[in-house]
Amino acid sequence: MMSEPTRIRAPELPGNLDWFNTDQPLTLQGQRGKVVLLDFWTYCCINCMHVLPDLKYLEKKYPDTLTVIGVHTPKFENERIGAQLQKAINRHHIRHPVAHDPKFQLWRSYGIKAWPSIIFVDPEGYVVGILRGEGRRKQLDELIRKHIDAAEASGILSPSPTRVSVKPEPQSELSFPGKVVATRNNLYIADTGRNRVLETYHDGKIRRVFGSGTAGFLDGTETAAMFDSPQGMVIVGDFLYVADTDNHAIRRIHLKSGEVMTLAGTGQQGRYVADSFRDPLVAQLNSPWDLSYYEGNLYIAMAGQHQIWRMNLNHLGIERYAGSGREDIADGSVERATFAQPSGVAVHDGQLYVADAESSAIRRIHLGQDTVSTLIGKGLFDFGDRDGIGTDARLQHPLGVASDPERNAIWIADTFNSKIKRIDVKTGEVSKFRISYELDEPGGLALYRNKLFIANTNAHQIVALDLQSRMSEVVNVREA
Please indicate, yes or no, whether residues 283 and 421 belong to a single structural domain of this protein: yes
Is the pLDDT at 2 greater than 80, yes or no?
no
Decide if 52 is inside a domain.
yes
Decide if 160 is inside a domain.
no
| Residue 461: CATH number of its domain | 2.120.10.30
Q: CA-to-CA distance for 105 and 398, rounded, in angstroms?
A: 28
Please classify residue 142 by burial: count the beta carbons closer than 10 Å to its beta carbon, then call 0-12 exposed, 13-18 middle and 19+ buried: exposed
Count other Cβ atoms within 10 Å, centred on residue 436.
Answer: 11
Using CA atoms of 28, 29, 34, 39 in order, give the dihedral in degrees to the nearest 10.
Answer: 0
Q: CA-to-CA distance for 391 and 397, rounded, in angstroms?
A: 15
| Residue 84: CATH number of its domain | 3.40.30.10
Q: Using alpha carbons, select from 175, 306, 305, 303 the residue that is nearest to residue 232.
A: 303
Decide if 328 is inside a domain.
yes
Write out pLDDT tens, residues 62-78.
999 999 999 999 999 99
Q: CA-to-CA distance for 124 and 9, rounded, in angstroms?
A: 9
Is the pLDDT at 59 greater than 80, yes or no?
yes
Decide if 118 is inside a domain.
yes
Please indicate, yes or no, whether residues 462 and 317 belong to a single structural domain of this protein: yes
Please indicate, yes or no, whether residues 87 and 214 belong to a single structural domain of this protein: no
Please indicate, yes or no, whether residues 342 and 408 belong to a single structural domain of this protein: yes
Please indicate, yes or no, whether residues 349 and 239 belong to a single structural domain of this protein: yes
- The average pLDDT across 175-181 equals 98
Q: Is the peptide bond before 53 cis (omega within 30 degrees of 0)?
A: no
Q: Are 62 and 47 in contact (CB under 8 A)?
A: no
Q: How far is the CA of 353 from the CAs of 13, 168, 333, in angstroms?
A: 44, 36, 15
Count other Cβ atoms within 10 Å, centred on residue 83.
Answer: 8
Q: CA-to-CA distance for 414 and 283, rounded, in angstroms?
A: 32
Decide if 61 is inside a domain.
yes
Residue where a domain stops, chosen among 104, 138, 153: 153
Residue where a domain stops, chosen among 87, 118, 153: 153
The pLDDT-based confidence of 273 (bands split at 50, 70, 90) is low
Please indicate, yes or no, whether residues 192 and 314 belong to a single structural domain of this protein: yes
Please indicate, yes or no, whether residues 310 and 216 belong to a single structural domain of this protein: yes
Decide if 162 is inside a domain.
no
Please indicate, yes or no, whether residues 223 and 138 belong to a single structural domain of this protein: no
Q: How far is the CA of 223 from the CAs of 175, 178, 191, 205, in angstroms?
A: 17, 19, 13, 17
**Three-state SS sequence of the chain:** CCCCCCCCECCCCCCCCEEECCCCCCCCHHHCCCEEEEEEECCCCHHHHHHHHHHHHHHHHCCCCEEEEEEECCCCHHHHCHHHHHHHHHHCCCCCCEEECCCCHHHHHCCCCCCCEEEEECCCCEEEEEEECCCCHHHHHHHHHHHHHHHHHCCCCCCCCCCCCCCCCCCCCCCCCCCEEECCCEEEEEEHHHCEEEEEECCCEEEEEECCCCCCCECEEHHHCECCCEEEEEEECCEEEEEEHHHCEEEEEECCCCEEEEEECCCCCCCCCCCEECCHHHCCCCCEEEEEEECCEEEEEEHHHCEEEEEECCCCCEEEEECCCCECCECEECCCCEECCEEEEEEECCEEEEEEHHHCEEEEEECCCCEEEEEECCCCCCCCCECEEHHHCECCCCCEEEEEHHHCEEEEEEHHHCEEEEEECCCCEEEECCCCCCCCCCCEEEEECCEEEEEEHHHCEEEEEECCCCCEEECCCECC
Please indicate, yes or no, whether residues 228 and 274 belong to a single structural domain of this protein: yes
Please classify residue 452 by burial: count the beta carbons closer than 10 Å to its beta carbon, then call 0-12 exposed, 13-18 middle and 19+ buried: buried
- The average pLDDT across 370-388 equals 97
Q: Are 195 and 176 in contact (CB under 8 A)?
A: no
- The average pLDDT across 357-374 equals 98
Q: CA-to-CA distance for 354 and 233, rounded, in angstroms?
A: 15
* pLDDT value for 3: 44
Decide if 3 is inside a domain.
no
* pLDDT value for 5: 65
Write out pLDDT tens, residues 217-265.
999 999 999 999 999 999 999 999 999 999 999 999 999 999 999 999 9
List the domain range (segments joined by +) for residue 68.
18-153
Among the residue ranges 3-12, 328-337, 412-421, the one predicted with the least confidence is 3-12
Please indicate, yes or no, whether residues 194 and 45 belong to a single structural domain of this protein: no
Q: Are 243 and 291 in contact (CB under 8 A)?
A: yes
- The average pLDDT across 392-406 equals 98
* pLDDT value for 275: 81
Write out pLDDT tens, residues 32-46.
999 999 999 999 999
Name 61's Cβ contacts closer than 8 Å, sequence gap at least 6. 141
Q: Are 62 and 144 in contact (CB under 8 A)?
A: yes
Please indicate, yes or no, whether residues 147 and 188 belong to a single structural domain of this protein: no
Residue where a domain stops, chosen among 138, 153, 168: 153
Is the pLDDT at 319 greater than 80, yes or no?
yes
Number of domains in the chain: 2
Decide if 174 is inside a domain.
no
Percent above pLDDT 70 for the chain = 99
* pLDDT value for 1: 42
Residue 254: phi, psi to the nearest 5? -80, 115
- The average pLDDT across 356-370 equals 97
Q: Are 262 and 243 in contact (CB under 8 A)?
A: no
Adjacent-strand bridge partners of 423: 410, 430
Please indicate, yes or no, whether residues 235 and 128 belong to a single structural domain of this protein: no
Longest dimension (CA), the chain: 83
